[in-house]
Amino acid sequence: MIRIATFNMESFGGDRPGRDATLERIPVLRARLTSLDADIYCLQEVNAQREPGAESRDLSDLDALVAGTPLADFHHAAAGPGDGLADRHNLVILSRHPIDQSATLMHDRVPPWRLELPMQAGPAEVRFDRPVLKARIALPSGRPLHVFNAHLRAPLAAPIEGEKLSAHTWRTAGGWAAGLSLAALKRMGQALELRLAVDAILDADPDALVAVAGDLNAETTETPLRMLMALPEDTETDALAARALKPVADRIDPDQRFSASHLGRRHLPDHILTSEALAARLIDVRIDNEAVLDDASVPAAFRGSLHAPLSARFDL
């Protein structure tokens, strides 16, 4: 049996290792991770640290979090938006089983494009904010499991030059709308790159075991998820039915199918999508959402994550 979990760590870790604010969060998040008892963890929003004088960043705070737990001996792969790890919001995969190959996908299949918005003097290059982390995991059975860990762009307006008065204040409603459209384009571009990467694996092996996990910042009825899932009712092409990715959360009662809450509305931005071969081996699914807080009213003493972890167990 193999359990795969996805969890947004809510910007875990400081700029330097061992900051007090991080140390206060470690017991809470350690308990959350170990309670999942997963074999593969797809983590988002893991910050990287830099020691004074060091040239590169590492995952010292994450190492401190897993120290003394079974996760300390897990294999791992990580990716940031540039060369090496970034200060904020890296992707990490932890695996009980060996990771024999990993790669960072960032405009590998969807090149940057140029876009001219009405309030801009000319076209500007549009690039993704974050990569996708891909890992091939060697299962005890000898079959490879292909895991994609993704954090798609949030549905929040992207900055537009000259249209913001401050970090949270816009000059015009039109500027805000342009920023929101830009964010949507980035999110859909990431979804397209991810879908094309999955297709490449299925081209080589139609029976491949593939999991796409992460904070995808969309629900299954929204365009980015529809692009990723490519369900028969959307493609209307019977020959592509075997290429569909199925969301494991469909096994959860609709009333409990949420991993976050915003302004009183429960929603599910976190997903595990499975190829046909992997979906056939699904045993059970859980969302540990009993303590999810609304992001509009977070207590000052809160040290956890505003996302609930989603996990699924497979007969592998």
Domain that holds residue 196: 2-314
Residue 29 phi/psi, 5-degree rounding, is -75, -30
Closest CA to 49 of 82, 87, 91, 9: 87
Name the burial class of residue 119, with classes exposed (0-12), middle (13-18) and buried (19+) by CB atoms within 10 angstroms of its CB.
middle
Tens digits of pLDDT across the chain (316 residues): 999 999 999 999 998 887 888 999 999 999 999 999 999 999 999 999 999 888 899 999 999 999 999 999 999 999 998 888 999 999 999 999 999 999 999 999 999 999 998 888 889 899 999 999 999 999 999 999 999 999 999 999 999 999 999 999 999 999 999 999 999 999 999 999 999 999 999 999 999 999 999 999 999 999 999 999 999 999 999 999 999 999 999 999 999 999 999 999 999 999 999 999 999 999 999 999 999 999 999 999 899 999 999 999 999 9
List phi, psi (to 5°) of 135: -140, 140
User: What CATH number is given to the structural domain containing 127?
Assistant: 3.60.10.10
Distance of CA 195 to the CA centre of its chain: 14
Alpha-carbon distances of 164 from 119, 133, 173, rounded to whole Å: 12, 32, 10
Residue at token pair 């297709």 = 199
Number of domains in the chain: 1
Residues 130 and 154: their CA atoms lie apart, in Å, by 11
User: How many other CB atoms are found less than 10 A from the CB of residue 164?
Assistant: 16
Q: Coil, strand, or helix at residue 293?
A: coil
Task: List the structure tokens of 159.
Answer: 């900055």
Distance of alpha carbon 277 from alpha carbon 292, whole angstroms? 32
